[in-house]
Structures are given as structure tokens and as C-alpha cells.
């Protein structure tokens, strides 16, 4: 269940958007020692992902109430969405 919780948290993060930063450091040898010469920090704003919002809203249905056929159909639908996501 931990993986499911982690996946849901990641999906929620994508659904609402988030900020991230990337640090690039350059080192050089000075006086026989490796020293930091330059550090560049880049901040990026990742906008909300509408597909993640849709998946969260679709997932609100209680799975315990679905029949086996409905679960199979939902599985196929989600797999199709994931495949489409890979090609975008």
C-alpha cells in the first residue's frame, strides 16, 4: 500500500503544480585541490497538469462498489491513458 500512497501523492503534486530547483556546480583544480568555481541554481515552476486532475477525479469512485467487469474496464482505460501519456 505504501507504493499506492506514494503514487497518489505524486499524482496530487502534479495536479496542483509545484516549484523545483536544479543546482549545477563547476569545480576546478586550484593549488592541487578541487574547489568550487561556479554554482548556478535554476528555479522552475511546473504548472498544474489537467490529466492528473482528471485521474484524481475519476479515482474518487469507491472501488469496492465496482463489479469485476467495471474494474477490468477501468483498468484498460487507465492503461490506455498511461500509454498515451508516454507518447506525448
**Average pLDDT of every residue of the chain:** 82
The pLDDT score that the predictor gives to residue 2 is 76
pLDDT at 25: 96
Ramachandran angles phi, psi of 49, nearest 5°: -105, 115
Element (H, E) at 81: helix 68-87
DSSP 59: T
- Asked if residue 63 has pLDDT above 60, the reply is no
Model confidence at 86: pLDDT above 60: no
Who wins on pLDDT, 20 or 16? 20
Amino acid at each position: 500500500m505504501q507504493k499506492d500512497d506514494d503514487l497518489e501523492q505524486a499524482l496530487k503534486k502534479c495536479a496542483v503544480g509545484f516549484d523545483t530547483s536544479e543546482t549545477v556546480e563547476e569545480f576546478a583544480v586550484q593549488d592541487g585541490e578541487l574547489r568550487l568555481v561556479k554554482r548556478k541554481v535554476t528555479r522552475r515552476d511546473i504548472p498544474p497538469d489537467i490529466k492528473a486532475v482528471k485521474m484524481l477525479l475519476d479515482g474518487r469512485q469507491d472501488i469496492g462498489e465496482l463489479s469485476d467487469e467495471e474494474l477490468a474496464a477501468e483498468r484498460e482505460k487507465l492503461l490506455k491513458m498511461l500509454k498515451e501519456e508516454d507518447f506525448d
